[in-house]
Structure formats: C-alpha cells, structure tokens
Structure 1
Amino acid sequence: MASAPADPAPIRLLLVDDEPSLREPLADYLVRQGFAVRAAPDAARARSLLVEERPDLVLLDIMMPGEDGLSLCRHLVETRELPVILLTARGEATDRIIGLEIGADDYVVKPFEPRELVARIRSVLRRATRAPVMTEEDALYEFDGWRLDPLKRRLTDPEGTVVPISSAEFRLLVAFLSHPRQVLDRDRLLDMVQGREAHLFDRAVDNQVSRLRRKVETDSRDPRLIQTVWGGGYRFAADVRRVVQAADRPGG
C-alpha cells in the first residue's frame, strides 16, 4: 500500500520585536496560519537563533533597545541574503527609506492587519524564489568583465571575486541585464523588480539603484554602467552577453 505523500515543510519565520504585546499574539496568529515561527525580543537573541536555524524570512522591528533593526537588517542582507520585512511605526518614514536602501524587501506600518502581513510574507517569498526567465537554462550574463550566474545568484567582478548581492539587488540587476541599453522608467522597474503588490514608491527604486551602483561601478558618483536618464528612468549602458556553460560530462 502506497504511503501518503508527506506534508511540505512549513515556511520558517523569525519574528524580532521588543514589544511582547505585539510579538506574542502575532507569533500565535502566524502559527495558526501554518508558519513555523521563532520569536526574539532583540537583535542579540535573533543572532543566536540564526546560528541554530536559517529561517525563510525575517520580520524585523526597526526600533529596539540595543542593536536596532536597521543594523540587523544590514547584517541579514549582506551576510545571509535573507528576505526581510520591516515592521515600522507610522512616523518612521525616513527609517523605512533607509531600510529599503539597505536591502529590505518590504515594510508594514504598525498597527497593521495580520492578514495583510501574511499576504506580504507570501508575496516576498514568491519574488525571492522566482526563477529568472532565461532563454537557455544555464546561461550566464557577462558585461564589462563582470559575470552573473542567475541560477546560483552569484555575481563576480572582473578579477573573479564574488561580490555579495541582496535578493533585491539581484532582481534589479537581472532587469537591467535583460534589457541592455533600453530606458526603463521607475514604474516599469517597480513592476519587474518588486511587483505592484509591494506598494513601494519611486524613491525605493532610486535607493536600490544607488546600492547596486556601489557594487558594480568603479565610481558610483559618476556611474558608467547604470546611467540616469533624466525624466525617463535608468539605462544599462554596457553590452551584455549570454554565455551557456558547458555541461559536465563523464570522462571529460
């Protein structure tokens, strides 16, 4: 008798918030929605939990005692490439912009409807796991001595050094490399990179472009690859090649 297929493993969330009145009932709600949740009251505890287990997504409060959420967000994006949704107070507009610039994937303003948060979680995870559209399954992007492997999400510079790249930066770079020398306005970039369900604003695109320029430009203040088209948006100004990797063959 064939055994029933095993249930898929639940999505693992790390919830970091110093307010027990929000953290505990929200964790309970998310568990009832089918998520596996670990909760931390501060960044120090969150870092300890991250050593034990890698979550699929982090829900992160900005204002916390000790290390704040922006500092922890930077660490998560740069060293672990984890999707992050910021939980922010209504008056923290500047912090939200900084968080998006650092590489957070989305934000939710307190007080929020838990159902909205669940929708944002699923949306961010869909974007994070969405495979890039490629004409050849294992084709690489090459531009100006750089190389991007979309399957491994690995960016290497002309010297062959791997350059860490966040999920948001990866999606933005793929958008540019898929449309070289074309002017892409902010609305189109939002659709291609974030999706309209993220409810982000034009300024977030500018911040993400600035972050990406710091990774790939010799001088980010005088960009040569990602050019600003005043009144129009941005244009990737280098030639892009698609290179198919040779498959490994036995005895080769």
Structure 2
Amino acid sequence: MNQQIYIVEDDANIRDIVKAYLIKDGFQVTLLENAEDAWQRAQSGQPEMWILDIMLPGMDGYELCKKIRQVSEVPIIIISAKDEEVDKILGLELGSDDYLTKPFSPRELVARVKRLFKRAEARPIDQTDTTAVIELGELEIDKAARIVYWKKQEIDVTSKEFEMLEIFAQKPKRAFSREELLTLVWGDDYFGSDRAVDDLVKRLRKKLDSLPIETVWGYGYRLEYDEDQK
C-alpha cells in the first residue's frame, strides 16, 4: 500500500494505537499533536489521507479540515468525542469524507480508511462519453479539465461538488433520490447518512447562486432546465 496518512490527535494513547493498526496493514503514518504543526508540515506536501481529531489545543480540527479543503481533495476522516448530529453535519459541510465517534474500534477505523482509498482509486472513467463540455444555460462544465463556469465566471468547487453537479447536468429534469446520489458520489460502501447529500446541495446552491437545483420533497433533487435553455 505505502499510502501516507497524517494523524492529528493530542491523545498519545489514541495516536499510538491507531498508528500500530495502520502500520500493520501496510500504511505509512505520521503523528502530529496539534493542528498548527500539521498545517505547517502540509505546506511541503499533502499526505494521501488525513485523520483529524476535533478537540485539539489551539486551532481545532474543523478549522484544519477547512484549510486542507482549500488546497487539496485528499480523503479526510474526522474522529471526535462529539456525537451530536450537528457536529457530524458540520464536519461534512467543511469537506470531511467520514466521521467516527469516540470511543471507536481501531479495526473499524482501518476498515474505513481502506474503503476511502478503494473508492478514490475505483472511480470509473466512461470512455464512451465523448462530450467534453456540458452547457446548460449559464452553466458550463468542462469535464476533461474538471472546471465549472457559472455566468461566465470560473467557480471553485470540490471534487464531490463537481461530481454531483456533473450528475445533475448530464440528466437535467431527472429526479435523483438521496440514496442514489449518495451511492453515485460517495460510493455504495459509504458509512454516513444521506444528510451528506443535503449538505452538498446546500454548498452548490451557495456557490452557484440561482442555479435551479430543485428539491423533490420526500425524495431527493433535480436540476430543472427547459429544453430551450440548453
């Protein structure tokens, strides 16, 4: 495997246990006690995955997660003693890929690490789709360059935001269920709830103001575009 994982955790016991389990499964592990040191180290190169505690001295894990997402799309797992739904949702909104509540089984954490790497490596490329650019009204998606334009302005989007937007744009007016979007964007082995879909749609609506992503109540979402807008 040899993937490099940064663990940012101020509890030495948890750091050492998690490190032992990950090394046993072939991962390279770097231990860091606080977010400031972790962020400074990241300036010289990102690891292939981050595991972040929330309750850190100084800068907390949420702020570090936000900073990482501004420069990188590597997988992020948040671990925290906070098990309230609002905390999990905040972690997802800031760009984490998974959220694990303490106390947790080190074996479960390793399983989630493997699944995230597997999903990242297994993203299919549709070789039969020759459409390089999708244009819908004021929305333009350059699939090859993975760039989104809205009202002729380039919009900064994360990898998951891009993937969901591409799904909507490829089949405008089609309603997608939350469960379907969860599988298409996060993979069928995702541990989290379908609230992650709502959070991602919320972020897209904020970044692409007035983009007609409509809620299909009790079901999911669709991108509403008339044929003459294409």
Common fold by TM > 0.5: yes
Matched, 1:210 2:202: yes
Residue of structure 1 in register with 2:24 after alignment:
32
**Larger deviation, residues 166-175 vs 145-154:** 145-154
**Larger deviation, residues 25-34 vs 129-138:** 129-138
Question: What is the TM-score when the length of structure 2 is the normalising length?
Answer: 0.88
Runs of 4+ in 1 over 4 A off after TM superposition: none
The one-letter amino acid paired with 2:222 is R
The one-letter amino acid paired with 1:152 is A
Cα offsets for 1:201-238 (capped at 9, x unmatched): 122211111011112224xxxxx421112222111113
Post-superposition shift, 1:101? 1.6
The correspondence for 1:70, drawn from 62, 71, 76, is: 62
Matched, 1:41 2:28: no
Residue of structure 2 in register with 1:232 after alignment:
219
Residue of structure 1 in register with 2:10 after alignment:
18
* Match runs of 1:72-221 below 5 Å: 72-129=64-121, 130-133=123-126, 135-136=128-129, 139-161=132-154, 163-218=155-210
Matches of 1:120 and 1:66, distance apart in 2: 27
The alignment-based identity, stated in percent, is 37
1:148/1:66 Cα in 2 relative to 1: closer, same or farther (>3 Å)? same
Whether contact under 8 Å (2:7, 2:52) holds in the other structure is yes
SS of corresponding position for 2:189: helix
Cα offsets for 1:78-134 (capped at 9, x unmatched): 232232111122534321111112221111222222222222122222333414536
Gaps of 5+ in 1: 1-8, 219-223, 241-252
Matches of 2:99 and 2:114, distance apart in 1: 13
Gaps of 5+ in 2: none
Whether contact under 8 Å (1:144, 1:239) holds in the other structure is no
**Larger deviation, residues 115-124 vs 55-64:** 115-124
1:24/1:239 Cα in 2 relative to 1: closer, same or farther (>3 Å)? farther
Cα offsets for 1:37-64 (capped at 9, x unmatched): 1121111011111012211111111111
Post-superposition shift, 1:138? 6.5
Matches of 1:239 and 1:23, distance apart in 2: 54
The one-letter amino acid paired with 1:236 is L
The one-letter amino acid paired with 1:60 is L
- Count of residue pairs the alignment pairs up: 226
